[in-house]
Amino acid sequence: MQGIIFSDGGSLPLPQGLTRNWVKTAAKERNEDEKLFALIREAFQKKIELGVKVPTYPQFRDMIGQFLEIIQDEKNCSEPYLVKEEQAKILELEIVDEVAKLYREASGKTLEIRVCVAGPTDLYLQAFGETAFKDAYHYLALDIDRFIRQAFKTVKHCRIALVALDEPSLGMNDRIQFFDPDIISALSLASTYARRQGADVEIHLHSPLKYEIVCETPINVLGFEYAATPSYLELLDRKVLEASETFVRPGVARTDISGLIGSLNEEYGINAWKEPAYMQKIVKEKETPLVIQKRLEKVCASLGARVKYAGPDCGLAFWPNRELAFKLLENTAKGINAFNNSSLGKKLLK
């Protein structure tokens, strides 16, 4: 095995002075294109430079909102909540493909990327709440399938190695009214095309409590937030993963910034929000490459070669600044590389 592959969650903090509302308007109306595109381009290039092996397009918009806004606009649909495939575009992939072209020209290698889309369950909860309309749930799964199909058409100079369905509500939210067969059907519909294209399909969960239903779908990578909640590892049965040929992508760097800052405040008796210099201790003392390497060792000691990808627990949109977020990505790359190059790492992945 080639070792653990570093993939990131996607989202990043915006530069000072820019807001999500500005990004939302710029993306929707295609105004200030070059300013937005330059922001995406620079952030994506930075991820590559920091060592993210399968980087996600830089996400500066709300994950659910960026898809639901297209789906809920009737001019984009053939019927209510059924988006036309030609309208199911992820704007950021246009810029990612430009960067990938330059990358290939410079290195002679084809860049592999991760494409993250909102999952049908989280989309449904945002659009319809607790009432269970199976037809609407089915339509939203079809919509996600169309966004994925369009993504494969958009990129010409890179390879989509990993498609991630963002479904943090599964296993965490008791408002979900659908039965397991309905969820399995929706997840299967949303993931089948990408698997047929040869890509891995990840489901990004916070908790893997309902992972066994995921193992009944074409999804073959289970992402969960191990770094913040190590006990989640105890929920997984290696034999179940092996029988279903399911891999895992554990989070090995914490991203719960409020919790991290809270621990600083308690340890040093300060308010790091008011004394931001202390925030550097997050990446210099807490989420260090060695800590990240040790977490990965514990997961692999339990699951072995079922571990294929790793990265931060979640996205970094709400981190205080980009410099701190980028440093966490750098530390994660160093921790994963140290594990891959160690004799213990090689032994655990056999």
What is the reported pLDDT for 279?
92
The answer to whether residue 142 scores a pLDDT higher than 70 is yes
What is the reported pLDDT for 31?
65
Task: Name the amino acid, one letter, at 253.
Answer: A
Question: Which pLDDT band, with edges at 50, 70 and 90, does 32 fall under?
Answer: low
What is the reported pLDDT for 27?
80
CATH of residue 224:
3.20.20.210
**Higher pLDDT among residues 190 and 29, named by residue:** 190
- Closest among 164, 160, 8, 153 to 89, alpha carbons compared: 153
Number of domains in the chain: 1
- Closest among 74, 96, 105, 99 to 87, alpha carbons compared: 74
Q: Provide the whole-model pTM.
A: 0.93
For residues 284 and 324, the answer to whether their CB atoms sit within 8 Å is: no
Mean pLDDT of the region 57-71: 92
What is the reported pLDDT for 170?
87
88-114 residue pLDDT tens: 999 999 999 999 999 999 999 999 999
Mean pLDDT of the region 329-348: 96
268-299 residue pLDDT tens: 999 998 898 999 999 999 999 999 999 999 99
Domain ranges, residue 235: 5-348
Mean pLDDT of the region 179-206: 96
What is the reported pLDDT for 157?
96
